[in-house]
Structure formats: C-alpha cells, structure tokens
Structure 1
Amino acid sequence: MSILSVGKTGLMAAQIGLSTTGHNIANANVEGYSRQTVLQGNAQPEATGGFFLGTGTTVTAIVRQYDDFLNKTLMNAQSTQAEQNGYYAQVSQIDNLLADSTSGLTPALQDFFKGVQDAASNPATDASRSALLSTANTLAGRFHSMSERLTEIGQGVNAEVETSVSQINSYASKIAQLNNDIAGLSADASRLPNDLLDQRDQLIREMNKLVKVNVEKGASNTLTVSIGTGQPLVIGNRNYELATQTSLTDVGKLAIGYVAGDKVSTLPDSSLMGGGSLGALLKFRSESLDQAQAQLGQVAAGIAAAFNAQHQLGQDRNGDMGTKFFKDIEVGVGIDVRNSPLGTAKVTGIVKDASALTTSSYDLNYDGTNLYLKRQSDGQSTLISPFPQTVPQVIDGVEYTITGVPQTGDHFVINPTANAASDISVALTDVGKIALAAPITTNAPLTNTGNGKISAGSVDAAFLDPANTLTGTVTLTYDQAAGGFTGFPAAQDVVVKGINGNSTTYPAGTTPIPYTDGDTFTFGGISVAVTGTPGNNDKFSVTAPNAGGTKDNRNGALLAALQTKNVLNNGKTTFQSGYAAMVNAVGNKAREVQIGGLAADAAAEQANNAYQSVVGVNLDEEAAELLRYQQAYQAAGKVMQIASQLFDVLVSLGR
C-alpha cells in the first residue's frame, strides 16, 4: 500500500475521532447519554520481501461506555428514592391536616363534652341544652370536614395512578419501537446504534422511577421489560399495556389491571409495591390513607354508639326514655362485581358496640352452604349462624342483617368504620328530647328503724327489654330474721355483688335474697346498692319512671363521663387517646419515610456518581481528546502531503 493510502487511513480515523469527540461534547448535558469512544486497530499488513509492511489503521468500533452492574444499582436506588419521596409527598398531607390545632378533631371533641357537662349542670334550662346540640353538630361537622379532606387525598391518588399508568404505557410503546429499530440496525455486533441504546436505557430508567421493572436481554440486542410478578410490558418489538379500572369492591378506588387481548386482569396492589412512585401511591393508600380513615371513623362511630347507648338509658324532659342522640352509623359494604347475577343477597350493618369495634376490613364469603365473615387484620373467621338469619348477628360491635339468597362464591367487603366520619350526624333537634335524667328513683322512708341506706340506682341495657320495663314501684322489705330482702320481681333473676367483687345469681322467685352490708342488687337492668344495717321490715323502694325528673342530671353526668372513659378497643382507649393514636401513627410514618427519603436521596446520588464516572462526559477530557485527534489529523495530512511531493519528484524524474 502506498504512503498516500496509509496517510489517508490515519486521516479518516482522526476525522472519526474528532466527530465522535464533538458528538460527546454536544451531548454532554443530554440526560441518559453515554460517552462514546473510538476503537482503532492496525490494518492488515502486506508482505514485502522478507518483512511485512504496515498499511495504516482502521476504526474497529465506536463503543459507548456502559456498565450493566452500575446501571442496575442506579435503577434500584432511583426506584427506592421515587418510592420514599412519593410516599412522603402523600402522607405529609395527612400529617399537616392532623397537626393543625385549629382544624383538628381535639378542639371540637373538647367543646362537645364541655357542652354535655354544661347541660348536665343545668338540665332544666333550654339554653344549655341548645348549646349541647350546637356543639354536637359542630363535632359532626368537624368529622365531615376531615373525612372530606381524606377523600380528596384519595381522589388525588386516583388521578396520579391514572397519570402514572398512562406514562408507563407511553414508555413501553417507545421502548418497543426502539427495540425494533435497534434490532434492525444490529446485524453487525461490532456496529451498534449507541444513541438508540442510550435512549432506550433512559426510557427504562424513567419507567423504573414509576414502577419497579425487571429487565432481561432478548434476541438481536432487544430487551424484555416486566413488572409485578412477571407481567411483561415489552417483549421485542411488542408492547403491552396497563389499565385503570374501578376496584372490584370499592367504587372510590382505582385498581390497576393488565391488558391481555380484550380482557383486563386486576393486579393485586401488593405486586406493584416493590418501588417507584406508583408503588408509593398504592402503599400509601393501603397503609396510611385507609388506616387513617378507619381510625378516624372508629372514633366517630365509637362516640355515636357509646353516646346513643347511654342516652337511651336516660329519661328526657317529657318523662320518656331517651332516643338516639346520633343517627346510627351504617357500615360500608362493597359488592364484588364478580358476584353471580343470580345472587340476591343484601348485607347491611349498624355499629352497636363501640368497645368491640375494630378498624379492620372484613370479607364476607359464601361457600354454597355457609356464610363466613373473615377479619382481614388477623384472618379470624366467624360463621353467620343461623343462616338464613332469624335475628341480626352482632360481630365485633356491628349488627349484621343479611337478606336474600347468595350464590356460591359471592363475596362482599365490609369496612365498618371507613365511612363513619362522613356519616355521623345528630338525630335530635328538640332540646326537650335530650335525656339527662335517670329513669328511676329510690327512696328509704323516714319510718325505717335501722340505719340502712339505698343508692340512687342506675340502669343498664337490660332495662330497655320490654320484659323488664318497670312501671310503678318495687318495694324491697328487709326480713331481719332471714337476713335478706323480699319484694323483688318474681319473674326476674337477682344478681348480688358484694364489696369484695364476688357475684351470686339467685333464680327468679328466690326469697328472701341474702344481704350483707354494701351489697349491690341487680334485677331487670336496675342496680341499687344498700349499705348499713336495716331494721326489721324496713322498706326501700325503686320507682320508674322518674316523675318530675326535669332537674335530674344523673344520666347527663354519665354522658359527660364518657369523655374520660376507656371505651374503644375493648375498653382500653378513650376517644381522645384513640384520635391521638391516629395522629401519632401518621406522624411517625411521615417521619419514617422522610428519613428514608433522605437516605434514598444519598444512595441515589452515590449510585449516579458511580455510574456517571463511567458513562458521563468529562469536558476537560474531551477537550484533550480534541487536541489529540487534531494533531493526529494534521500529522496524517502531513504524511499525505509528503507522499504527494514524493510522487511529484518521481514524475519529474521520468520526464
């Protein structure tokens, strides 16, 4: 090969080097661009006499600087970063809502019970009773506003889920197209479309920030991208789509489905919670938002149920037994859209027992023979028995009424407290209907000879049973010789509880009932305590209703005492501490993900720095490369110039 040809190959190689370096400089600020370098090799030498003569150089490849391990490390870090920061952006909204001392529940709760206390202190006045109704409506309104804000946050989650799914589908389509282009341009493994590879990798990284992806190599330099439990989004030049649809059991939530042909299969939220901002949305909704709504609802339903139960044990200003102060809280029932159209079952529930109420959701399933209610928090199942029902069945504080005929496999999801905060409302409008008085009175005549005394008495839920209703007076007479009382209703058992806490039940008709100083007698829902030493034939009376009890405030005092009584969670938590637990749980979670986000930011930055140290464009280095290739270009040009001059000399010699 001539010297001219050798110079020419050097010139072309230097020109390619200059072009590649310039390309690096031009794309230094392009997201996802990987630095490209020129690989050169010597051309095939020619045998000349007893030696080989070099024939110049050749460009063997233009390669991009890429490290698969560092890329996967970066993707993992970015997915975690997006998840932590996405979760914090959502949970901080609830944290800010609860942290507001003016718009939170605590002030309204305190004002309500102050209104109860004021009404109990002045039971005969309309002013205090009106103030109580006003504070009750204010409390209900505060529950409503907080519930509405949580609902708005949930709607925001739905909107972001839709946007994320749309973006994922768009990325999948573009990646599939790039797979197709790359496969068509990759016939020669040494000549790859580096810029297209960079674009594809960047799209995959962007998708990975939305949802954790798994990437595997395919044929012809294509990549297969899958999510969740292996659902593919891209295979070769074909892309698949996700879709949003209304949850199978909750119309207020959007679920994510995988599109296969003309069918959409719902993906479990848990399968997409491995990372990314979409995973953060789903995790936030299930862990924090739903739980916050349930806990707030538990407090609302607990107040309504407990206050109603005590209010119904009182007597209003008209002499009637108390009615419901708050309207019944109905549980939320979601009907699975996959249920048989032949099924006619209808499920309703009303919160009855505040102490037994939980924040868990429940699954009601029919297996063709039996109905089971399964608590999701721990998997405990309760048989609905009998079924068909003859009377409603109370489970975990909720009275369930199930009518109609279900079909095998029918499924319902029940959320006892999810809607309680939005549904709580005051049932009373007439101040005279507020039951502040106790329905019974007791009396010990002055003609008694002993020093025995009888308490004011109290009633429990059994008093409301029509079979136990007392209208008139029960007179208890002490028989000194027998050491007990006679005169108890003949049809009712009598339970005697001593000051030591031990109780003895005496069957209906037992007479006399033994007495020891300090005993409490319970019969027909009425409890009275007797102290001291009665004389023979001393009498103690219990009368219902409480005639002229407009100034009586005994039931009002019991209603006010609910503020500090451990009612929720099987009698372990007050209403205020139940709300405080919700505030603490949200606050702790917000702090947890905030710290996790800071750690994830640092990890992502470190991973990106390591990745960029390999693939990133260093402008100083590229400037040095420009000088190197410029000098090589000039030197190769000089070789060609000399070759031309030598050729001219040879031509001139032949003249």
Structure 2
Amino acid sequence: MTSNLLSIGKSGLLAAQVGLSTTGHNITNVNVAGYNRQTVQQQTANANYAGYGYVGTGTEVSQIKRQYDSFMSTQVNAAQSSTSSLNAYYTQISQIDNMLADSTAGLSPSLQDFFKGVQDFSSNPSSVASRQALLSSASSLTGRFQGLSARLSEIGAGVDSQITSNVAVINTYAKQIAELNVSISQLTVDPALQPNDLLDQRDQLVNELNKYVKTTAQPGSNNTITLSIGSGQPLVVANRSFELAATPSLTDPNRVEVGYVTGSSVTILPENALAGGSLGGLLEFRSGALDRVQNSLGKVAAGLATTFNEQHKLGQDLNGDMGGDFFKIPDPQIGASRLNSASSTTVLSAKISDPGALTASDYNMRYDGNNYVVTRQSDGARTVINPYPQTGPQTIDGVDFSVSGTAAEGDNYVIRPTASVAAGLGVLINDRNKLAAAAPIATGAPVSNTGSGKLSAGTVDKNYLAAGNALTTPVTLTYNKASNALSGFPADKAVTVKGLDGNSTTYPAGTASIAYTAGDHFSFGGIGVTMTGAPANGDTYTISPNKGGVGDNRNAVALAALQTKNILDGGNATFQGSYAEAVSFVGNKTREVQVSGLASQALLEQTTNQQQAVSGVNLDEEAANLLRYQQAYQACGKVMQIASTLFDVVIGLGR
C-alpha cells in the first residue's frame, strides 16, 4: 500500500515537474518570434484491479501540446504576403511620385520654357537672339527628358537588384525549411508526440518566406509540409527544395526576370504568376507602373518631336532651303527572344508614324506557325500582320511594322515603341540660320486688280515635300467673270475645292478652269489657298516661291500652335495634358497603394493579435501556472512523505 502511495506521489511530482519546466520554457521564449505556447496534457495512469475495485496508480504526462491554429497561421501568412507586396510597391512608386510632382524637376517647366522660346521666335523670326534662345530651350528640354528617363532607369536597375536579392533569400528559406522537414520527420516517432520547437522554427521560416513571395502550404507525410508558389510550382517538397533564379530577360539582357530552375534549365515565369510578397510587389510595380510611366514619358517625347519635325520641314530657313528634322528621334526598341529558332531569317523593324495613335504599352510579335501576330501587352489586343509577305509597312497604334523573312513557330519579339525615346531625344539643328520660320510659298496680287477678291497667304502640308510638288516657278490664277471660274492651276496636279459648306470637289489634273465661290479653299500639290471677295474679270493672283522671306513667321506661328493642339491620345490631349495624365496616374496609384498598404497592415496586426490570443505566451497566465504546479509539486511531495512515514510504521511492526 505504501509502495503504491509512493508511486502515486512520485507520478504527480514528476508531472508537476514537467509542468514547471514547460511553463518556464514558455516564459523564457516569450520574446522569440514564431514561438507557440506549450501546455502539458496529463492523463490518469492505468488503475490496478484489487478485487473490490480498481485502485488508481497516479498520473502520467501524455503530451506536450503546442497551442497552434493552422487556419490562423494561414491568415497571418496571407496578410503578411499582401502587406509586404504593397509596402514594396509603395516604396518604389513614391520615388516616381516625388520626382514627377516636383515643380522644378518635372517636365512641365521645360515644356513651357521651350514653347515660350518658340513663341518669341515666331514674334521676331529674324532676331539672332530669339533663334539662339530657341535652340538653348530645346537643348534644355531634351536634357530634361533624358534626365527623367535616366532616373526611371535608375529606379528600374534598383528594382532588378532587389529582385535578385529577394530570389536569393527565397532560395535560402526554402532550403532551411526542407532541412527542418528532415529533422522533424526523423523526430516524429508518434504523430501525437511532435518536436514543438522545430515546428515553431519551421512555421516562422514560412512566415518570413511570405514576406518575399506568397506561398501555399499543404501538410505532407510524417509532419512535413509542401510549399508551392505562383501557379503551383513546388518550392519545398518533403526534404527537397527547389530554386528560383534571377536571369536576364529572353528579349532584353538588361532586364532581370524570375525563372524556375528544373534540372539544368531555367523557365522564366510570367510576372503575374508571382503575386504577393516583396518580390511580387516589385514585379507588379515594374510592369504596372514603371514601364507605363517610362512609355508615357517617351510617348510625349515622340509626339512632340515627330509633330515638331513634320511642321518644321514645311518651313523655309534663312538660306531659302526647306527645313529639316529639328529633333532626333530614336527608333523603337526591338528585342528578339534568345529561344528563337536558329533557322529563322525574320527581320523586323518599327517606326513611329502617327504620334496621336501611340499608346503607353509594349507589344509582343509571335509567329504562331501561320501568321505573325502582334499583341498589345496592356490589354491583349491582337493584330495579324496581313498580308504577308508585306506590300508595305502595317501600322498598328501609330507604329509602322515592317517584317520580312521566315520564322519558326513560337519565335517571339518584344517591341517597345516609346520606352527609349526620352533617353535618346536630341536636337539635330545647331545652326540658328537653319531654323525654318517662313513658309515656302508667297501669294500676291497686282495693284492693277479692280475687284475685291483676296487670296490668303497660303499654307503647305506634307504633300508639298513629295517629288515634283515644290514650287519652282510662280503659278498665276486668272479670274473669268463670264464663266465665274479661275484658270492657271498647274496642269499636272489635281485641284480640290472645299466650300464654306464643307463639301469638297476634286478636279482632275489639266482642268482648264475651275468654278469659284467666295470663301472656297483650293489645294493642289500640297499647297492650300483660300480666296474671298468678288474678283473682277481678268484679275490675277500669284502663288510663287517665297524668296527673301526673312521676316516671314508663318511656319514659326504654326510651330508655336502645336503647344495647345490636341495631338496625343487619339487627338484628345496636348503634350502638357498627356504628361499631366501620367503624373495623375502616378499620384493616384501612389495614394491607392498607400491606403491599401495601411489597410493591409491593420489586417496583419488584427490577425496576428488573434493568433497570439491562441498561441502566444501570456506572462500573467504563466505566472499563475507556476504557482499551480509549485503547489502540486509540494502536495505530491507531501504524499511521498506520508508514504515514507507509513513505510517506517510497517518496518517498526516487524521489530
């Protein structure tokens, strides 16, 4: 009996000792990240049958249980992944927001200064000072474009560097989790008896991993876990970890992509496949904000340079020559995939032809086995190159695509029409005498005319630059009152007449006389003139090459008018307006990400607090447990003391 009582006391004392050790373990690990509170689970020891019933034999510790809730842990990991993604996005986009919002560092002041120089030039086209000031403001404008583009490129290089470091950290965590899987499986002899501390370490690593990339965890055999990322790519399976790789883009060696390593090969993952975590945030920022802003800046640069060049070439400089290109415009970037077939002979070129139709998107051109298909990356719109072989360039969103040669199925190319325009923009004219302020034609009428008819100063369009259209000799128009018609138009050119009612009539080349109505606009060979009033019979009007037009500012006025003309975004935005749209996008996106980040942070704190309420260590509760186990220890010791006394009594009876 005393032996049984001694054993009962001993079992209680040992259980209390385990309780004290576990409580002490909780207290000392209260500040350890990822630690889950442990509790002692006791059960009654097997009783002995004694004829009159079962006599208890004490207690035993059945399990040291980890207070862990997998559902809450999954919620915390998801909130952590989302918060890290938004924080990474916000850190990057706020740099662009600060740069574009700066009233001195942005593009707006330079645009305004440039067009102020154009306006001063148009007001005094013969002034050496105004001409030189225009060249200086043009150089400042291109320098600002280049500076903004360089800063965006620096941000992009920083993003690439962070992607590389994030991939390295992810691989390290994956390897450590796989190693812990091995240790945990080896120590799991009984599924009910788990190595709690190792499980805590593994769960904390999973939480840290979710700061970099969103993972999906599934339980495996023998207490292991399986982690997958993206669209299901395994990262950890039992004792094996898989690696990601930061690798150059297939079409742009200067751009870092994330690849999945399988054996000796690396498969590049789509950027949208790696959502969540700082890595997902960086990838989303680069494709969703950085590329768009860089393309939008290039779109403004391309639109300004293209339209300014087109108008400048319609003018006449101080030397009497037609104007040339004012700005240097880089061609679109084209990248061929390294995986393209070696047998392919495809030659692809692209050139901006219509700045008003430009978008802020990049494009993919892929050969599907039958056709070359151009896909706009922003919305997936597809255009087939047709016909092929081409009879001439095919225009897609303001870009002329010229393709020749043969390809293999799957050959892929990336075209970035505006990405590099701002960086490569330059001023081609350095001789102020070559600034084309004047129009190449002049109109006039002799004083001998007796009617009230008047001929406008005249304009020219791009057709004037075609071979054979430039005026070399004067054109004299004569009015015949009897037929109410004008004669003398060039015999080799068709004439289009547009009335005040908006209706147009085209007369074939060689038409001897053309009916006249006051207000009619006549155009031929790229020349346009408007006649008003009532000319008298025999009145003549001349259209001739502009000689000695030093003070003529008609083309300069047309150049200045480009500032307020809706040219970009389908003819709905000025240069300033299109740039303002990009600034507005960045500002709104920055605020959106900031607000979302704060909300996600609050959710993370809420879910963490809920998890800690279940799994965290409460020092007040542990202090109470210490007293409880201490009292139990003392009581069990008293039981053993009594058993010892009884044993002494029994021994004494035998003396």
Give the TM interval when normalised to the shorter protein: over 0.9
Please name the residue that 1:642 is paired with: 642
Query: CA offset at residue 370 of structure 1?
Result: 4.2
Please name the residue that 1:309 is paired with: 310
Please name the residue that 1:159 is paired with: 161
Which residue of 168, 171, 185 maps to 2:170? Answer: 168
Which residue of 87, 90, 97 maps to 2:89? Answer: 87
CA distance in 2, matches of 1:403, 1:550: 47
Give the 3 Å change call, closer, same or farther, for CA 408–47 of structure 1 in structure 2: closer
Give the 3 Å change call, closer, same or farther, for CA 372–483 of structure 1 in structure 2: farther
CA distance in 1, matches of 2:585, 2:522: 44
Contact map agreement 2:331 2:351 (CA 8 A) in 1: yes
Q: Deviation per CA, 1:2-43: give whole Å up to 9, x if none.
A: 211111111100000000000000000100000000000111
Please name the residue that 2:223 is paired with: 221
SS of equivalent residue, structure 1 residue 637: helix
Please name the residue that 1:122 is paired with: 124
Contact map agreement 1:4 1:639 (CA 8 A) in 2: yes
Check if 1:458 corresponds to 2:449. no
Which range moved further: 581-590 or 467-476?
467-476
Residue identity opposite 2:118 in structure 1: V
Q: Deviation per CA, 1:165-213: give whole Å up to 9, x if none.
A: 1111111111111111111111112211000111111111111121111
Query: CA offset at residue 392 of structure 1?
Result: 4.4
Please name the residue that 2:589 is paired with: 589
Contact map agreement 1:24 1:617 (CA 8 A) in 2: yes
- Point out where structure 1 has 5 or more consecutive residues left out of the alignment: none
Residue identity opposite 2:34 in structure 1: G
Please name the residue that 2:290 is paired with: 289
The percent identity for this pair of structures is 56
Residue identity opposite 1:481 in structure 2: A
Please name the residue that 1:231 is paired with: 233
- How many residue pairs get matched? 653
SS of equivalent residue, structure 1 residue 543: strand
Structure 1 segment 130-169 matched on structure 2, within 5 A: 130-169=132-171
Query: CA offset at residue 511 of structure 1?
Result: 2.8
CA distance in 1, matches of 2:372, 2:598: 48
Query: CA offset at residue 337 of structure 1?
Result: 1.1
Give the 3 Å change call, closer, same or farther, for CA 398–82 of structure 1 in structure 2: same
Contact map agreement 1:304 1:329 (CA 8 A) in 2: no
Please name the residue that 2:529 is paired with: 528
Query: CA offset at residue 379 of structure 1?
Result: 4.1
Give the 3 Å change call, closer, same or farther, for CA 316–385 of structure 1 in structure 2: farther
Please name the residue that 2:549 is paired with: 549
Query: CA offset at residue 347 of structure 1?
Result: 2.4
Please name the residue that 2:246 is paired with: 244
Residue identity opposite 2:60 in structure 1: T
Please name the residue that 1:500 is paired with: 501
Q: Deviation per CA, 1:248-296: give whole Å up to 9, x if none.
A: 12223211111111111111111112x2111111111111000000100
Residue identity opposite 2:584 in structure 1: N
Residue identity opposite 2:80 in structure 1: Q
Contact map agreement 2:244 2:260 (CA 8 A) in 1: yes
Provide the TM-score with structure 1 as the length reference.
0.97
Which residue of 61, 64, 70 maps to 2:63? Answer: 61
CA distance in 2, matches of 1:601, 1:35: 24
CA distance in 1, matches of 2:644, 2:528: 124
CA distance in 2, matches of 1:497, 1:75: 70
Query: CA offset at residue 504 of structure 1?
Result: 1.5
Which range moved further: 345-354 or 68-77?
345-354
CA distance in 1, matches of 2:365, 2:27: 64
Residue identity opposite 2:547 in structure 1: A
CA distance in 2, matches of 1:201, 1:112: 60
SS of equivalent residue, structure 1 residue 437: coil
CA distance in 2, matches of 1:199, 1:138: 58
SS of equivalent residue, structure 1 residue 210: coil
Query: CA offset at residue 71 of structure 1?
Result: 1.2
Please name the residue that 2:279 is paired with: 278
CA distance in 1, matches of 2:192, 2:494: 97
CA distance in 2, matches of 1:373, 1:231: 29
Check if 1:40 corresponds to 2:51. no
Give the 3 Å change call, closer, same or farther, for CA 518–233 of structure 1 in structure 2: same
Give the 3 Å change call, closer, same or farther, for CA 350–67 of structure 1 in structure 2: same
Contact map agreement 1:486 1:512 (CA 8 A) in 2: yes
CA RMSD of aligned residues (A): 1.5
Query: CA offset at residue 356 of structure 1?
Result: 2.2
Structure 1 segment 582-621 matched on structure 2, within 5 A: 582-621=582-621
Contact map agreement 2:329 2:421 (CA 8 A) in 1: no
Which residue of 185, 188, 193 maps to 1:183? Answer: 185
Residue identity opposite 2:175 in structure 1: S
CA distance in 2, matches of 1:267, 1:568: 34
Residue identity opposite 2:73 in structure 1: N
Provide the TM-score with structure 2 as the length reference.
0.97
CA distance in 1, matches of 2:237, 2:370: 45
SS of equivalent residue, structure 1 residue 39: strand
Please name the residue that 1:447 is paired with: 448
Contact map agreement 1:328 1:350 (CA 8 A) in 2: no
Contact map agreement 2:125 2:131 (CA 8 A) in 1: yes
Residue identity opposite 1:175 in structure 2: I
Contact map agreement 2:340 2:410 (CA 8 A) in 1: yes
Contact map agreement 2:353 2:400 (CA 8 A) in 1: yes
Query: CA offset at residue 344 of structure 1?
Result: 3.3
Which residue of 99, 112, 115 maps to 1:113? Answer: 115
Query: CA offset at residue 368 of structure 1?
Result: 5.2
Q: Deviation per CA, 1:322-359: give whole Å up to 9, x if none.
A: 00000133111111111112223332323232212222
Query: CA offset at residue 381 of structure 1?
Result: 4.1
